[in-house]
Structure 1
Amino acid sequence: MSINANKLLLSHSRASWRSIKNSSIVTQRQRLSPLHTNAIQRSAESVQHQRIRQAMPYFDAERFARLLEREGFSAGQARAVINSLDDVVDESTTIVTTDLVSKADQEQTIKQYKDDFSRLKAEIQQMERRDVDEVKTANERLKSEIEKLRKSLQQEITRSQAGVRLDLNLEKGRIRDETIEQHEKLRKTDDKIESEILALKKQMEGIKLQILQYMIGTITAGGTLVLGYIHFLS
């Protein structure tokens, strides 16, 4: 009789545990990350516990007590077994429900995830816009610096060209002055040569005149001698 009661108790315990296990397997599919299970409040746990107890198969304690009494248990023993079994079921249910969350909590957590994601997305977009603005500002500053450098380089080139032009003009003026001076020297040299040539011509003409005068004097003297000799002979 005791063996049959134990078998009956064991079969009912296994059936109750399978019901609890099946309920926990179905419910565990809706579990959230362990990071958020610590945030579940005690009131939500009690509500979830009641929901699971209501979802479990109906357990007729009176019928089970009568079966135990029929197998030879006294009323007190049957009630003690029923209470022990009820405590086991409650403890098992409590252990199972500690890792479970309600659908409302799950939706709230998902909503929190979505809000966090939206806030993160907004922050990323804001950072991207700020980075784009910083790049644009840096680009404008770089363009301004390049423009200043270009103007400075243009001014330096203009000053260099002006200096080169001035040097070229000065060099041209110096060369022109030297050319004029050389031309003046050549002109003076030509004039001096011409004056010397004229002086030589005058000297040669004077020499010619002297030679003519000497020849005329010689001829006259010779003629006079010839005439005197002829006159002397006659």
Structure 2
Amino acid sequence: MPYFDAERFARLLESEGFSAGQARAVINALDDVVDESTTIVTTDLVSKADQEQTIKQYKDDFSRLKAEIQQMERRDVDEVKTANERLKSEIEKLRKSLQEEITRSQAGVRLDLNLEKGRIRDETIEQHEKLRKTDDKIESEIQALRKQMEGIKLQILQYMIGTITAAGTLVLGK
């Protein structure tokens, strides 16, 4: 506590027109205010040991949270990789199946052309139209699958960025 010269302050008050009793009353009131303020301030203070223990607890909690977030990220990345591989495999199977079907369809059309050229000319036009529609449908389905995969990738990236941002916010917040 800094030193306070009560006698000097009392003389100053008396020189300004206060009576000795009034000066003593002001000094007593100031003394009570200072004592009460000191008590209030000291009760709100935390000991260094308590502060260090709280900081250690926060660091431990943050370390556990960081480990959990990293584990969740690894698990999510593994799940995404697995799903991506599965989708690639399914797309490859579809592509092969469609390729085989196209090959079979073309072989059938060629056989029919060799057997009945006259009648087949009209049928060939129809078959080519069907093949074009099938190719268009296949292409549109492949495009839809690609768009769906891009959407999934975007969602994964958004989730990862959100997780990293949340982790960063937690780090910066602490």
Identify the TM-score tier after normalising by the shorter chain: 0.3 to 0.5
Give CA deviations for 1:126-155 in whole Å, capped at 9, x if unaligned.
Answer: 221122112102211211211111121122
Aligned length: 174
Q: In the alignment, is the contact (CA less than 8 A) between 2:10 and 2:20 conserved in 1?
A: yes
Question: By how many angstroms is 1:117 displaced?
Answer: 1.5
Partner of 2:113: 168
In 1, distance between residues paired with 2:163 and 2:15?
206
- Rate the CA distance shift 1:64–1:179 in 2: closer, same or farther, 3 A: closer
Q: Which deviates further from its counterpart, 209-218 or 68-77?
A: 209-218
Identity of aligned residues (%): 96
Question: By how many angstroms is 1:92 displaced?
Answer: 3.7
Question: By how many angstroms is 1:171 displaced?
Answer: 2.6
Give CA deviations for 1:51-99 in whole Å, capped at 9, x if unaligned.
Answer: xxxxx58999999999999999999999999999997776443211122
* TM-score (norm. length: structure 1): 0.36
Q: Which deviates further from its counterpart, 193-202 or 217-226?
A: 217-226
In 2, distance between residues paired with 1:158 and 1:84?
104
In 2, distance between residues paired with 1:60 and 1:222?
55
Partner of 1:90: 35
Q: Which deviates further from its counterpart, 162-171 or 194-203?
A: 194-203
Question: By how many angstroms is 1:165 displaced?
Answer: 2.4
Question: By how many angstroms is 1:164 displaced?
Answer: 1.6
Higher relative contact order (CA 8 A, sep 6+): 1
Please tell me whether Structure 1 or Structure 2 has the larger radius of gyration of its CA atoms. Answer: 1
- Rate the CA distance shift 1:93–1:154 in 2: closer, same or farther, 3 A: same
Structure 1: state its 5+ residue gaps.
1-55, 229-233
In 2, distance between residues paired with 1:116 and 1:225?
11
In 2, distance between residues paired with 1:64 and 1:225?
52
- Rate the CA distance shift 1:201–1:163 in 2: closer, same or farther, 3 A: closer
**Secondary structure in structure 1 of the residue aligned to 2:4:** coil
Question: By how many angstroms is 1:103 displaced?
Answer: 0.4
Give CA deviations for 1:177-208 in whole Å, capped at 9, x if unaligned.
Answer: 99999999999999999999999999999999
Q: Which deviates further from its counterpart, 148-157 or 171-180?
A: 171-180
Q: In the alignment, is the contact (CA less than 8 A) between 2:13 and 2:23 conserved in 1?
A: yes
Q: Which deviates further from its counterpart, 182-191 or 80-89?
A: 182-191
* TM-score (norm. length: structure 2): 0.47
In 2, distance between residues paired with 1:126 and 1:136?
15
Q: Which deviates further from its counterpart, 179-188 or 116-125?
A: 179-188
- Rate the CA distance shift 1:171–1:86 in 2: closer, same or farther, 3 A: same
**Secondary structure in structure 2 of the residue aligned to 1:202:** helix
In 2, distance between residues paired with 1:180 and 1:97?
97
Partner of 2:16: 71
In 1, distance between residues paired with 2:20 and 2:172?
218
- Rate the CA distance shift 1:73–1:194 in 2: closer, same or farther, 3 A: closer
Structure 2: state its 5+ residue gaps.
none
